[in-house]
Structure 1
Amino acid sequence: MRRSRLAYLPFVFPLLAFAEFLTFVSVAHAIGFGWAILVLAVSSLAGLALLRREGIRGWRAFQEASRAGRPPGAGVSNSLIGLFGALLLAIPGFVTGVAGLLLLVPPGRTLARRGVERLAERRLGGAATSDLFGPRKVRVHQSGPVTVVVDDAPPPPRPAAGAIEGEIVR
């Protein structure tokens, strides 16, 4: 029987608290207790301000996509990842603060968004993912039975013999 990942949460939170404590002690030893408290306070206030901004941005992205008739997934997932990063930044702690900052900078946000799209595709299937995030790029090779390969990378410069390239659109 497969064990749910939620079963591990009671172990994760105490480990996170212990890691935060060790990190705080190390930083306080390096820069001083007062400065460490000041850095935590400033990062928490910045996280709270970013929570509001990212929430409003996500709502506007959803409304815009709905009005234009586009799939809302890409813009909304990008904003939700920013919202989660702001939430991590708002939680007092250096480990969660660094994780939040990584989700707020564009390269980290892009990697997380791609991960969310892959997870959605595994859990929901290709049709539902296409409705959420737009058409997927695929290559179909005709050698025996038809094989469909989902590929987000740009196609190779020359298609192989017997290959049909294109996008799946409703």
Structure 2
Amino acid sequence: MRRSRLAFLPFVFPLLAFAEFVTFVSVAHAIGFGWAILALAASSVAGLALLRREGIKGFRAFQEAARAGRPPGAEVSNSLIGLFGALLLAIPGFVTAVAGLLLLVPPGRTLARRGAERLAERRLGGAATSDLFGPRKVRVHQADPVSVVVVDEPSSPRPAAGAIEGEIVR
């Protein structure tokens, strides 16, 4: 019987609290208690400011996509990842602040967005995912049986011999 990942949630929060405590004690020992408190306060204030900015940015991107009649796409999921990163930054703690900063920088945001899209595709299926994120770019290789590889951006400017490129709309 497959166990839900939510069953492990009661263990995650105490472990996170312990990790935050150990990290705070280590940082306070290295730079001093006052500076550690100041760093926590600064990261929380920055996170609150970014929460507002990312929320407004995501809402505007969603409105623009709805107005244009197209799926919300990468810009909205990008904003949602930034919103989650700002939320993690606003939570007092060094571990969550580092995780939030990783989600706010462009490479981390892109990796998290692609991971969220893959997770949505596994959970919801291809049709629902294309409704949310737009048409998927695929490359079909002729083999026995036919295999489909989902690609966000073509890795080469020219398709391989025997490959058919296109977009799946429905």
Cα distance, 1:145 vs. partner? 4.2
The answer to whether the aligner puts 1:79 opposite 2:76 as a matched pair is no
- 2-structure distance, mates of 1:37, 1:113: 32
| Residue aligning to 1:116 | 116
- Provide closer, same or farther for how the CA distance between residues 144 and 40 of structure 1 changes in structure 2, counting only shifts above 3 A: closer
Cα distance, 1:169 vs. partner? 2.8
| Residue aligning to 1:90 | 90
The one-letter code of the counterpart of 1:120 is A
- Provide closer, same or farther for how the CA distance between residues 143 and 33 of structure 1 changes in structure 2, counting only shifts above 3 A: closer
- Percent of aligned positions with the same letter in both sequences? 87
| Residue aligning to 2:40 | 40
Equivalent pair of 1:85/1:102 in contact (CA under 8 Å): yes
SS of structure 2 residue aligned to 1:3: coil
How does the TM-score come out when normalised to structure 1?
0.93
| Residue aligning to 2:5 | 5
| Residue aligning to 1:129 | 129
SS of structure 1 residue aligned to 2:141: strand
- 2-structure distance, mates of 1:155, 1:92: 40
Equivalent pair of 1:74/1:132 in contact (CA under 8 Å): no
Cα distance, 1:144 vs. partner? 4.2
| Residue aligning to 2:161 | 160
- Provide closer, same or farther for how the CA distance between residues 34 and 57 of structure 1 changes in structure 2, counting only shifts above 3 A: same
SS of structure 1 residue aligned to 2:60: helix
- Provide closer, same or farther for how the CA distance between residues 80 and 60 of structure 1 changes in structure 2, counting only shifts above 3 A: same
Cα distance, 1:92 vs. partner? 0.5
Equivalent pair of 2:159/2:165 in contact (CA under 8 Å): no
Number of residues of Structure 1 aligned to a counterpart in Structure 2? 169
Cα distance, 1:29 vs. partner? 0.5
The one-letter code of the counterpart of 1:160 is A
How does the TM-score come out when normalised to structure 2?
0.93
SS of structure 1 residue aligned to 2:164: strand
- Provide closer, same or farther for how the CA distance between residues 33 and 143 of structure 1 changes in structure 2, counting only shifts above 3 A: closer
SS of structure 1 residue aligned to 2:148: strand
Equivalent pair of 1:23/1:95 in contact (CA under 8 Å): yes
